[in-house]
Amino acid sequence: MCDACGYIHYDNPKIVVGAVVESRGRILLCRRAIEPRKGYWTIPAGYLELNESSEEGALREAREEANAELRLTGLLAIYNVPRISQVQLIYRAVLLSEDISAGEESEEVGLFTTEDIPWRDLAFPSVRWALNQFAEVGGIQGFAPFTNPNGETGDFDPKSTTGV
């Protein structure tokens, strides 16, 4: 709090929004063109902007990173990453057109079957969580959103066989 005027500056967590996007049994991934984790694969996601809903933010991020148009089908997960003060809202979505291409923040984009996902080259632990949890629910509707897997906080594990 400022002693002179009493203003209180709150340092709050950042909200990240994104989506696991499916099209004909394949998942949309973006290879990051920016740090952190440049060159690694992620789902379309990024920071929520002022005055937008989390749904609008997830749709915007997909347009910015993959020139992709989506329809959100529900909230998949809410993740907490305390080390970097993030709360992540990850949706499920379907791709409305496979006419996709890399946006400014992506080196390339692609649609991957589960078997072809570059698991060792995923950018962040929460990407792995979201992909695994998406596969776990399949087409089930009306489930409670997932949270961090038991004991996971989003820290990188250099010994992990998945790379994150």
The domain segmentation of the chain, as residue ranges, is 14-137
Mean pLDDT of 78-98: 97
Reported confidence tier of residue 158, pLDDT bands at 50, 70, 90: low
Does position 163 have pLDDT exceeding 70, yes or no?
no
The more confident residue out of 74 and 155 is 74
Instruction: Give the CATH fold of the 14-137 domain.
Output: Nucleoside Triphosphate Pyrophosphohydrolase (3.90.79)
* Among 3-7, 40-44, 158-162, the least confident range: 158-162
- Give the position of tokens 């992909």: 131
Measured in whole angstroms, the distance separating CA 8 from the mean position of its chain's CA atoms is 31
pLDDT of residue 1: 81
What is the Cα–Cα distance from 88 to 77, expressed in whole angstroms?
8
Reported confidence tier of residue 144, pLDDT bands at 50, 70, 90: very high
Query: What are phi and psi for residue 60, nearest 5 degrees?
Result: -60, -45
* Among 64-78, 92-106, 143-157, the least confident range: 143-157
Percent of the chain with pLDDT over 90: 84
- Greatest Cα-to-Cα distance within the chain, rounded to the nearest angstrom: 60
8 A C-beta contact, residue 70 and residue 43: no
